[in-house]
Amino acid sequence: MMKKILVIEDNPMVIKSLEFKLTKDGNNVMVAHDGREAMKLLKENEFDLILTDLMLPFVTGNELISYIKKNTPNTPIIVLSTSTQENIIMDAFNMGVDDFITKPFSPNELSLRVKRLLNKN
Amino acid sequence: MLNFYTFNFHLNLESLPWIMKLNIAFALFFLSLAIIFFISIIWIRIFKIYRNEKKRKQQALLIDFLNSYLFDEDFDKELEIKNFKENHLKTSLEIKVTIKEILHFHENLKGESAKDLESLFSKLDLVEFTLLDLEDGRWFTTARAINALSELCIEVPNHRIEAYLNESRNEVRQQSQLYFLKLAEEHPLKFLDKTVRPLTTWQQIYIENALKNFYKGPAPDFSNWLDHDLTSVVEFSIRMIARYNQFENIPKLIPFLKSKNDTLKREAISSLANLEDIGLLELLIPTFMDNSRIIKLEILDAVEQIGNYEDLKKIGEQLATTDWELRIKYHNIELGFLPEKKELIYSQFMLEKRFEI
């Protein structure tokens, strides 16, 4: 069965690459370009996995993570961020994210991590 | 009818005084200038819209092409590259957008995908175009070309980049320095031997950053550049000796404590303090007052960092000065050494200040 993944990212190049790669892997990918759009999609759909950036327009990544954890606590979250600061990574894990990938990222590695989390759930 | 008016106007114009004719001539001249200006603006605007549209189309095409190239196993790479070269790399704009997009992808991806992009750049014959850009003559095109080569780790004969190490524009020099740093497997700072223009502060920061984040080989021996002709290179080398904990180079830094050049002396004090050289304060404290203000402040920093209250008191005995910045620094360090006497030191300081002791 196709898994439904939400990609929340504001960089068009990264969006297209993630969309392409994850669709090629057999997933149904939906895209939100900012936090507000993501909130709307989250209210209307149920996702098997969420891949999000932390720096987003309108609603920040941290606010989104809190919202997801409050409403669908079992949905796995992967953060994809340029930040390598330890405190930001620790904060994200403390909020309950399942994985943290830093940019620049390896698409193959990301794909494996997504598969691992989807299989786990 | 028309002929009649033209004729009439012609007649009237002829009969006008010369000053009026001159006025009309100027009016017509400026009117035509205004029309030309207006048409030019509209034409530039239309050209820009057309160019942006072409750019957008090429970008969209490239995103699909690059994603398929990187992630689609069924994608016939050889054939598609040939087609892309023949159909979508014909104009300078198409080539420029392609280079930019590949760089953008490369910036965001790592691992096998980044390597694939590097090889794609060569397969699309973009290296040749970049080398042409290198010799374009305009500084921003040259800087951009060197940047593309270093970002994508494309090696070209050294002499082609060395030529830009001493360019008049900082940006070009900076890009050529980064090129050598990013591509070096060992001896990343060899380019300093050929540098004859001073390193700017930003260049020093970028070199340090590239050494930490891109260069993977053994750390260079920074003492090799302690006798360089440029103060900025020597200053940078002294700083790096401390950053890289090259304790074996401490004896080579000691002579700089007697340097006439305050920049080098200051950097040497700071580096030796960072390396926690125990003999440093013994050399500096007895001659404290012979130094310039900037060196005195640096010595106080060194005392705070590696000294004790006794060292500070030895400076205090010499500190007969009304330079309040020095005194404030001295008392602040004293507070750090003797936190329990904070109140006493503060009131003593205020008393001295009040009566200008």
Q: Is B67 touching A (CB cutoff 8 A)?
A: yes
Q: Is B60 touching A (CB cutoff 8 A)?
A: no
Beta-carbon separation of B105 and A16 below 8 A = no
CA–CA dist B333, B338 (Å, integer): 9
Predicted-complex ipTM score: 0.86
Beta-carbon separation of A11 and B108 below 8 A = yes
- Please give the average per-residue pLDDT across A90-94, as a whole number: 90
Chain A residues lying within 8 Å of B107, measured CB to CB: 104
Q: Which residues contact B108 (CB under 8 A, 6 or more apart)?
A: A11, A13, A14, A17, A103, A104, A105
DSSP letter for each residue of B266-287:
HHHHHHHHHTT-TTHHHHHGGG
Chain A interface test: which of B61, B62, B63, B115 (most A C-beta within 10 Å):
B63
CA–CA dist B71, B51 (Å, integer): 30
CA–CA dist B188, B182 (Å, integer): 8
Chain B residues lying within 8 Å of A24, measured CB to CB: 71-72
Residue type at B275 in one-letter notation: L
Tell me which DSSP letter residue A79 carries.
E
Q: Is B131 touching A (CB cutoff 8 A)?
A: no
Mean of the per-residue pLDDT values of chain A = 91
pLDDT 10s digit of each residue in chain B, 357 long?
445 555 555 557 778 888 998 999 999 999 999 999 999 999 999 999 999 999 999 999 999 999 999 998 888 999 999 999 999 999 999 999 999 999 999 999 998 999 999 999 999 999 999 999 998 889 999 999 999 999 999 999 999 999 999 999 999 999 999 999 999 998 999 999 999 999 999 999 999 999 998 998 999 999 999 999 999 999 999 999 999 999 999 999 999 999 999 999 999 999 999 999 988 999 999 988 889 989 999 999 999 999 988 899 888 888 766 677 888 888 889 888 876 666 676 677 677 766 665
* Burial class of residue A77 (count of CB atoms within 10 Å of its CB; 0-12, 13-18, 19+): buried
β-partners of residue B230 are none
CA–CA dist A53, B127 (Å, integer): 34
Give the per-residue pLDDT at A88: 86
- Find the closest chain B residue to A80 by CA distance: B108
Give the per-residue pLDDT at B355: 66
CA–CA dist B154, B129 (Å, integer): 13
Residue type at B194 in one-letter notation: K
Beta-carbon separation of B70 and A107 below 8 A = yes
The vertex-B58 CA angle with B56 and B64, nearest 5°, equals 105
Question: What sections of chain B are H helices per DSSP?
Answer: 2-15, 18-71, 77-88, 92-108, 112-123, 126-134, 139-151, 158-162, 170-183, 201-213, 231-243, 250-253, 262-274, 280-284, 293-306, 309-318, 324-337, 342-355
pLDDT tens sequence across B157-166:
999 999 999 9
Closest residue by Cα to residue A25 from A2, A47, A6, A7: A2
| Three-class HEC string of B155-207 | CCCHHHHHCCCCCCCHHHHHHHHHHHHHHCCCCCCHHHHHCCCCCCHHHHHHH
Residue type at B223 in one-letter notation: S
- Please give the average per-residue pLDDT across A77-86, as a whole number: 89
Residue B307 CA, chain-centre distance (Å), reads 36
Give the per-residue pLDDT at A87: 86
pLDDT tens sequence across B280-304:
999 999 988 889 989 999 999 999 9
Nearest-CA distance from B71 to chain A in Å? 6
Which secondary-structure segment (H or E) carries A120?
helix A107-120
β-partners of residue A28 are A4
pLDDT tens sequence across A32-56:
999 999 999 999 999 999 999 998 8
CA–CA dist A110, B106 (Å, integer): 16
Give the per-residue pLDDT at B136: 86
Beta-carbon separation of A104 and B71 below 8 A = no
Chain B residues lying within 8 Å of A21, measured CB to CB: 67, 71
Tell me which DSSP letter residue A10 carries.
S
Beta-carbon separation of A105 and B104 below 8 A = no
Beta-carbon separation of B112 and A106 below 8 A = yes
CA–CA dist A24, B224 (Å, integer): 53
Beta-carbon separation of A104 and B68 below 8 A = no
Closest residue by Cα to residue B267 from B225, B303, B219, B302: B302
Nearest-CA distance from B136 to chain A in Å? 29
Of residues A16, A20, A109, nearest to B111 (C-beta): A109
Nearest-CA distance from B353 to chain A in Å? 44
Which tokens go with B308? 């004790």
Give the per-residue pLDDT at A110: 94
pTM of the model: 0.78
Give the per-residue pLDDT at B13: 72
